Amino acid sequence: MKRLYTIFTLLFLALSPVFPQVTLKVQAPNQAEVGQRIRISYVANTQDIEDFQVGDFEGFNVLYGPSTSRSSNFSMVNGRTTQSSSTTFTYTVVPTSEGTVKVPAATIKVNGKAIKSGTSSIEVLPASQQQSQQPQNQQQGSNPRQQRQQQNASSSGQISGSDLYMTVTANRKKIYEQEAVMLTYKLYTLVNIQQISGEMPQIDGCHVQELDRSAQMTLKYERVNGRNYGTAVWKQYVVFPQKTGKIKIPSITFDTQVEVQNHSMDPFDIFFGGGSLSQMVRKQIVAPAVEIDVMPLPTPKPENFSGAVGKFSVSATLTPDQVNANDAATLRLVVSGQGNMKLMKAPTVRFPQDFEVYDPKENNKTTNTATGAKGNIIYDYVVVPRHGGKFSIPPVEFCYFDPEQERYNTVRTDSFHLAVAKAKGQPVAYSREQEDLNVLSNDIRFIKLGEYTSEDEDDFFGTSSYWLTYLLLFLAFVAAFLWLRHQQKLNPNSWSVKGKKAGKVASRRLKKASKLLHTKDDAAFYDEVMRALLGYAGDKLSLPTNELNKENVISGLTSRGVEQEVVDSFIAVLSDCEFARYAPTADTNLAKEKIYQQASDVITRMNASLKSHKI
């Protein structure tokens, strides 16, 4: 018996898609005006209906209905055929009184079973003042929005400022520096708009982000000064002030195209294709300016302040936690929250001194909201330990300002430990404590016992060889001093010579890198390209090796008049080269060829720029 029950259950579940559940749904607008014609529909997902009943339409004047329509749909996907059908009962009604009016439920019978729909509510607004002046029979015989369009737009196409306008509101008028403020531009219209365009201009001292409004705009009724306007939020911007004081958000001019009734056309011309009952009119509307009061951040600011304003948290992972010397490890730092995330600085990580550290790779996973960017930003720090041993990475601190609490907060990650095994052929490296113990053991000598004799002393002191050695050292010092003075006179500006030869040196290094393009030694290729880039910059800017870093290169090139685009390209190629050295792509040959070409191009452009400024 139990087995038979199981079989029937499985059979029912298998056949259930063949007999879908019958439903009846009501469709009605959310808003309407007194005297406006609207449609209320009841939709069933079947055509096998035996009876249809509906309740009383209290608060409505039913013009006609129900009108019945049926539809069927067939589709075939991957050889499987599906069929669906529906029946729609539609009433055309006119609201007779303002307020919230309830749409009655309906009932159908299918195979002797009663199926009941839900109910709905419609917010009925008072009729507009101009509409209410029309005779009652005219109100019920035409669309009131069309009536207003005919009244508000004359045959000459004139549209008044009260027929179509735009407002702007700020969610806050007093904020802190770098705090987000949202501006909302809302459209009010009594006419039929076909097109509208307009953008926020540049604002001095502000960073502006537009909120995504890709969804289709829908008008909603709103009563203003006795008239029912169609309203919609048209644009929303999030503004981050970068300076303090009074900041004025300028006005925005929107260009619109409005369809109006053309009463001057001859009906015979329209009938024979010589005109139209409507025409397009251009209209400009101006959204007013807004003033924002921006307060400075409290002082003194913490030394580790990141520039972030909002609410944030931070987390980190180290992968892997055991590597060989000269192999790469990645510290992933994730900053989550909301605020000015696209403007904050990357957190500072204090790695051990003998680690080779590359600039963090940033992955922005944020979306724009009314309170600023929301989500997280991932920073990947690639490090290469050069010696074996056990190392500790202290907790990473992230300091931000919370405008709600009006104070600076600091969040921290856990500390990390990295075990580094020695590389092949590399001598064993010891920690600081081990080195101290070794030095102490070497300093402790065995005390020799017995009487002191002159034979234990070295007989070299005071001999002729002793004084001859001192004389030779003195003469060597004098000769070296004279030679350096001579070289200085011959070449008083060695950096100038290096600068003139920088292009040739870089060309030789790139030529050497080109020989490594199609080899498997990727590390050697990227090392040679980086030597060409950094060597060229160092020779041109007279930077010694210990001062050769990205910050000094950017500062030097900018101060010598090199275009910002060229500087950005140089830094981008160098960063891509560094990252690719320890994070190879799937097609390494293609990536190497791309980086080689970019390096060659940026050196050529930089050389031309420096020559134009006589550097």
CB 192 within 8 A of CB 250: no
Domain boundary among 274, 295, 316: 295
Domain boundary among 231, 261, 295: 295
Q: Are residues 263 and 329 in the same domain?
A: no
pLDDT score at 443:
43
pLDDT score at 97:
86
CATH classification of the domain holding 25: 2.60.40.10
Q: Are residues 39 and 87 in the same domain?
A: yes
Q: Are residues 150 and 247 in the same domain?
A: yes
Counting the structural domains of the chain, the total is 4
Q: Are residues 242 and 111 in the same domain?
A: no
Element containing residue 138 per DSSP (H, E): helix 136-141
End-to-end Cα distance, the chain: 98
385 pLDDT band, cuts 50/70/90, is very high
CATH classification of the domain holding 374: 2.60.40.740
Has residue 404 been placed in a domain? yes
Has residue 130 been placed in a domain? no
CB 147 within 8 A of CB 37: no
pLDDT score at 560:
79
Count, residues in the chain: 615
474 pLDDT band, cuts 50/70/90, is confident
pLDDT in tens, 145-174: 444 444 444 444 577 888 899 999 999 899
Q: Are residues 114 and 175 in the same domain?
A: no
pLDDT score at 199:
85
405: Cα separation from own chain's centroid: 26
Average pLDDT over all residues of the chain: 79
Task: Report phi then psi at 70, rounded to 5.
Answer: -125, 150
Adjacency order of strands within the sheet including 252-261:
192-197, 252-261, 278-287
Q: Are residues 278 and 151 in the same domain?
A: yes
Cis before 300 (ω within 30): yes
Q: Are residues 179 and 317 in the same domain?
A: no
If we measure between CA atoms, which residue out of 121, 71, 126 comes closest to residue 101? Answer: 121
| pTM given for the model | 0.54
Domain boundary among 421, 436, 463: 421
Has residue 477 been placed in a domain? no
More confident residue, 258 or 10: 258
3-class DSSP state for residue 255?
strand
Q: Say how far apart CA 289 and CA 287 lie, in whole Å.
A: 7
- Quote the DSSP letter at residue 528: H
Q: Are residues 291 and 315 in the same domain?
A: no
pLDDT in tens, 124-140: 888 876 544 444 444 34
Has residue 462 been placed in a domain? no
Q: Say how far apart CA 310 and CA 304 lie, in whole Å.
A: 16
Q: Are residues 254 and 358 in the same domain?
A: no
337: Cα separation from own chain's centroid: 13
Task: Show the domain range for 52.
Answer: 17-125
Q: Say how far apart CA 318 and CA 419 lie, in whole Å.
A: 12
Q: Are residues 408 and 515 in the same domain?
A: no
Query: Of the given ranges (300-304, 396-400, 411-415, 588-592), which has the lowest mean pLDDT?
Result: 588-592
pLDDT in tens, 220-240: 888 888 888 889 888 899 999
Q: Are residues 186 and 219 in the same domain?
A: yes
CATH classification of the domain holding 225: 2.60.40
